[in-house]
Chain A
């Protein structure tokens, strides 16, 4: 009898510990690492812009939160205190690719070396389409 209660108590304690650990892990689970995710779509900036311009709702459904590998012609670079952004195909209605400040700092030489007209390929998470910026890719890395 005593033995049984002991076993039950131990099992309950283990369950509580496992539950606590899971909750703690969930609460502190890491952010997505876009750099290590495989791209779900590989396409040109022109194609991506076209899809969003033709039917934004459908493009949102297809691409939001997905990792995209996009290539295109660089038309502008913006380097401010808030981040490093490069724009493809058009300054206002193209594709806007943003790099995290850490990535931008570590790869500053490479990013700085790009000039307008260069073909560049980036991988990033699609956040949607926004006025003045076009289709937004965030957490980008150059590939």
Chain B
């Protein structure tokens, strides 16, 4: 009796491993911008890391705040030192899950809209988001593109009143990532 349970458990584990399919991205492009009549703010990070588990629908995205590049050095400095405090909180991290996994066939080429629900942590603050992500499955690779709106308030980032008019209330975050299967 005990033995059979053990065997079933081992088989189950083995099946899990053979089906678990992970797709990786190490050069994802994440960028954000906010516009006000005074000034446009735009920053790019082309070194986002991400893993999609097509079996469970889990998605993890991680970026380093210091890798965001602004056109103006001064903005970059303010972003790092005063707003996201990247010395204290060097990473931005998203942990989420595809909620409509049954509508996506990662083994069949095509375009799918994945509803990704999860928690984004920036500046040490958690905030939940639901993001529609366009997934283009093409042979062995997956391209994911998405966009969602955030604000400094979401992450308890205080903006001094002197510059408040210069910094947009709504910050749009965009992502474009290409994943390839993890083989090993």
Per-residue CB contact flags for chain A residues 63-102 toward chain B (1 = under 8 Å, else 0) read 0110000000000001010110100000000001010000
Q: A60 to B90, Cβ gap below 8 A?
A: yes
Residues of B within 8 A of A96 (CB): 26, 47
In the assembled complex, the CB of A35 is this many whole angstroms from the nearest CB of chain B, namely 15
Residues of A within 8 A of B51 (CB): 131-132
In the assembled complex, the CB of B33 is this many whole angstroms from the nearest CB of chain A, namely 18
The distance in angstroms between the C-alpha atoms of A110 and B62, with both chains bound, is 31
Residues of A within 8 A of B86 (CB): 64
Does B35 make an interface contact (CB < 8 A)?
no
Q: A60 to B62, Cβ gap below 8 A?
A: no
Stretch at the interface among A1-9, A21-29, A115-123: A21-29
In the assembled complex, the CB of B18 is this many whole angstroms from the nearest CB of chain A, namely 21
Q: B76 to A31, Cβ gap below 8 A?
A: yes
User: Could you tell me which residues of chain B, from 18 to 37, have a CB within 8 Å of some CB in chain A?
Assistant: 24-27, 29
Does B144 make an interface contact (CB < 8 A)?
no
Residues of B within 8 A of A128 (CB): 64, 66, 90-91
The distance in angstroms between the C-alpha atoms of A60 and B51, with both chains bound, is 24
User: Could you tell me which residues of chain B, from 64 to 96, have a CB within 8 Å of some CB in chain A?
Assistant: 64, 66-67, 72-74, 76, 86-87, 90-91
In the assembled complex, the CB of A112 is this many whole angstroms from the nearest CB of chain B, namely 18
Q: A64 to B74, Cβ gap below 8 A?
A: no
Residues of B within 8 A of A61 (CB): 87
Q: A26-B74, A30-B73, A31-B73 are in contact. Are A78 and B27 (CB under 8 A)?
A: yes
Does B60 make an interface contact (CB < 8 A)?
yes
The distance in angstroms between the C-alpha atoms of A133 and B50, with both chains bound, is 10
Does B142 make an interface contact (CB < 8 A)?
no
The distance in angstroms between the C-alpha atoms of A37 and B20, with both chains bound, is 46
Residue in A closest to B178 when the chains form the complex, CB atoms? A80
Residue in A closest to B27 when the chains form the complex, CB atoms? A82
The distance in angstroms between the C-alpha atoms of A60 and B49, with both chains bound, is 18
Q: B24 to A132, Cβ gap below 8 A?
A: yes
Residue in B closest to A87 when the chains form the complex, CB atoms? B26
Q: A130 to B64, Cβ gap below 8 A?
A: yes
Does B63 make an interface contact (CB < 8 A)?
yes
21 contacts between A and B (CB under 8 A): A26-B74, A27-B72, A27-B74, A29-B74, A31-B76, A64-B86, A64-B87, A78-B27, A82-B27, A85-B26, A85-B27, A85-B47, A96-B26, A96-B47, A128-B90, A130-B49, A130-B63, A130-B64, A131-B62, A132-B26, A133-B49
